[in-house]
Amino acid sequence: MPELLEAYLNYCLRRRSGQLYEGEVRERHILLVWSVFGTCSSIFHRLCTHSPASEHSNYEVPVFTSDRLNNASYLRSGFLPFNPLVNKSVVSLETVELYHHLFMRCPRLGIQPFIRALCDLQGVRFKNNVSVQFASAYDLYIRLADGVRNQVRSALGRLTPNYRMLNTCPACQYEVEGEPAQPIRMMAACDGNNSLKRFQRREPSGDGRMLGTVKERPDTRVGGGDYFLLPETVDLWDEPNWGKWLDWAPTGRGAKNSCTDRWSNMNESKTARSFGCFEVNGLFAGFCRHSFVLVFADMLRTGEQSKYFLALLHHFMSACRDDRRQRGLPDEPIGSLGVGYDIACGMVDKITRSPLTQLAQDEKLHLLIGLLHGYAHNRLCQLSFLMLYIYGAGIEDLEVCERFFSHSNA
């Protein structure tokens, strides 16, 4: 991977300046080139030559003596390989970049319709294996982009595990010398989105009543960078697993919350069950008040359980505490940390009984309820948690999750 990353950076630098790679050519490979732009760049014209004895989209791509891997030479010429070792066809980097930008603006655009359009441009019949090959090339492109991003972060000293989360919002997290202290130093919001589900592909069952066997290949890759919590981290905050935490002793339950009957996601017996056809039942997300993403967690085979909220709180508050210690600041923060959740009243007893209780006290955690959800709670809950009655909350409604989900669900 380092060799491919170096070749990709070399190509990007030369593409801007229009310079050729001055290396000794060991041999030339005749490859089928998939490209929306045809012979798309000046470097392409000068490095690669058309093969007159073959089809119109076949070109002779140089392989340089300085490259141990043929794929590195392909990248220097502006192509992404489909396979790690032997390739008979490649795709131009400009084509993959075009699909990436289209996908970022329209996530509904899948690889197959894009490849169908590409086949129409090439004047060839669509074959499903081209979609599979393009998916492999796109995975490589994402890996290369992540590698470049990590190199930039490393050069700027921003490669620490929680740097992005702790510096994602300048308004919330950047401190100005001499700035007056606020009653609430930062406001965040958490909520689950049940619309972002993913089916688990299974074989058809015999009678239709039971689920068939899973036909998906196990994927142990970890994606999402530092945006997503690992499932193992989330499961530690499931109530049966609290005993795994050191220096924690179980306590009795508090009084029953009067809002439990109004909110289904307060009832763990309901959220523990889900339709078996779904592998992912949704997304649990945390944002600052300005809609910057703090952290995500996939809701795997369960509904919106309290373990996601507790795991997110622990991840963020422990990172804030460690950051203050690293910078030599006092352990006690100035001002409380306001976190909004639509069932905040039901989480107070849960946090008090959980291993999170001491950290919540140290970070001065203050649970809040946004204005949209607040009026579904009783009067006592509103006086204790509703943003309208919280000193220091200002005119903030803390419904950033709903606004974010309205975009992701569109």
- Pick from 155, 186, 207: which residue ends a domain? 155
Give 72's contacts (C-beta < 8 A, 6+ positions apart).
Answer: 3, 4, 6, 7
- State how far the Cα of 284 lies from the Cα of 288, in Å rounded to an integer: 14
For residue 311, the model assigns a pLDDT of 93
Domain check: are 136 and 175 in the same one?
Answer: no
For residue 166, the model assigns a pLDDT of 92
For strand 184-193 and strand 278-288, is the pairing parallel, antiparallel, or unpaired? antiparallel
Q: Taking the CA atoms of the chain, what radius of gyration do you get in angstroms?
A: 27
What are the tens digits of pLDDT across the range 225-253? 788 899 889 999 888 888 878 777 777 66
Note down the domain range covering 78.
2-155
What is the amino acid identity at position 82? F
Domain check: are 138 and 180 in the same one?
Answer: no
* Ordered alpha helix ranges (H), 162-230: 163-166, 170-173
Domain check: are 244 and 309 in the same one?
Answer: yes
- State how far the Cα of 155 lies from the Cα of 326, in Å rounded to an integer: 20
Domain check: are 373 and 252 in the same one?
Answer: yes
- CA angle (192, 197, 202) in 5-degree steps: 145
For residue 40, the model assigns a pLDDT of 46
Q: Rounded mean pLDDT of 88-105?
A: 89
Domain check: are 365 and 250 in the same one?
Answer: yes
- State how far the Cα of 137 lies from the Cα of 79, in Å rounded to an integer: 10
Domain check: are 288 and 365 in the same one?
Answer: yes
Domain check: are 195 and 145 in the same one?
Answer: no
Q: Rounded mean pLDDT of 315-332?
A: 91
Domain check: are 208 and 332 in the same one?
Answer: yes
Q: Is the pLDDT of residue 97 over 50?
A: yes
Q: Is the pLDDT of residue 130 over 70?
A: yes
Total structural domains in the chain? 2
First to last CA, the chain: 36
Q: Which helix (H) or strand (E) holds 379?
A: helix 379-385
- Asked if residue 324 lies in contact with residue 331, where contact means CB atoms within 8 angstroms, the answer is yes
Q: How far is CA 17 from CA 20, 109, 148, 329, in A?
A: 9, 32, 19, 47
**Confidence at 310, pLDDT banded by 50, 70, 90:** very high
The residue assigned the tokens 């989900």 is 405
Domain check: are 250 and 318 in the same one?
Answer: yes
- Pick from 155, 175, 190: which residue ends a domain? 155
What are the tens digits of pLDDT across the range 32-52? 788 887 644 444 444 555 544
Instruction: Give, as one character, the DSSP assignment of residue 238.
Output: S
Domain check: are 122 and 201 in the same one?
Answer: no
- Asked if residue 271 lies in contact with residue 305, where contact means CB atoms within 8 angstroms, the answer is yes
Give 24's contacts (C-beta < 8 A, 6+ positions apart).
Answer: 64, 65, 66
Domain check: are 135 and 51 in the same one?
Answer: yes
Domain check: are 167 and 302 in the same one?
Answer: yes
For residue 34, the model assigns a pLDDT of 81
- Pick from 117, 136, 155: which residue ends a domain? 155
Q: Is the pLDDT of residue 157 over 50?
A: yes
Q: Is the pLDDT of residue 74 over 90?
A: no
Q: Rounded mean pLDDT of 105-116?
A: 88
